[in-house]
Amino acid sequence: MQIKVWGMSSSGNCHKVKLILDYLKIPYQWIETDTRHKATQTEEFRKMNANARVPLVQLEDGTYLPESNAILYYFAQGTAFWPQDKLSQARVLQWMFFEQYDHEPRLAVNRAIQSIFNTIAERRAEYDANFPKGYKALSVMENHLRATAEAGQGKPWFGAASASIADIALYAYTHVADQGGFSLADYPHIRAWLGEMERLPGHSRMTAS
């Protein structure tokens, strides 16, 4: 059975899945699932993912797997996107948990408010409150990349010595930060890292907003 991906093209969490599958040249069928039209809120979809969210993957044996970062881990095992030593593995997870707790809830949510649902007026307080927290997350990333560069440890990545699933996870909403009102002007190391990601074979940026 071919791998199926239920995803919304304008969602960074879903774009992570497209990136890992495209980098690894794994064939799959993409089923466009627009949450703006409540496509995940049906009884049929809830049978596949009780949490009613995309991305959702159906593996070759028919098993369903939700959660973008769990999906990244599933496909990355045994590839260059999942390092082999224990400490690097833990560092990759460190950045992936950071992404879901400190980064995505600020950058993805403001992008959704501004560019997906166009609801800045209705959600002004939440939108404004996300800026200091989102810029704090970007500063943590910038400082990590700067320190790695200054230590002369080769190309700066998050967690491993080469691009890993931590980089894919963080790339998803960082490369479209401007669509949520965030500027990367003061983050030169982040901009350089985005450029490195965009040179990976099979790479794509998110097209829709």
Rounded distance between C-alpha atoms, residue 44 and residue 47, angstroms: 5
Residue number with CB closer to ligand GSH (100 or 115): 100
Query: Please, what is the angle between helix 165-174 and helix 86-98, to 10°?
Result: 20
- CB 92, CB 166: distance < 8 Å: yes
- H helix or E strand, kind and range, residue 32: strand 28-32
Q: Both tokens of residue 197?
A: 């990601």
Residue number with CB closer to ligand GSH (67 or 102): 67
Smallest distance from ligand GSH to CB 38, Å: 7
Query: Please, what is the angle between helix 104-111 and helix 165-174, to 10°?
Result: 40
Rounded distance between C-alpha atoms, residue 197 and residue 22, angstroms: 13
Smallest distance from ligand GSH to CB 10, Å: 9
Residue number with CB closer to ligand GSH (107 or 156): 107
Residue number with CB closer to ligand GSH (108 or 138): 108
Smallest distance from ligand GSH to CB 120, Å: 18
Binding site for ligand GSH (CB under 6 A): 8, 11, 13, 35, 40-41, 52-55, 67-69, 100
Identify residue 67 by its one-letter amino acid code. Answer: E
Residue number with CB closer to ligand GSH (42 or 77): 42
Smallest distance from ligand GSH to CB 43, Å: 14
- CB 106, CB 134: distance < 8 Å: yes
Smallest distance from ligand GSH to CB 62, Å: 20
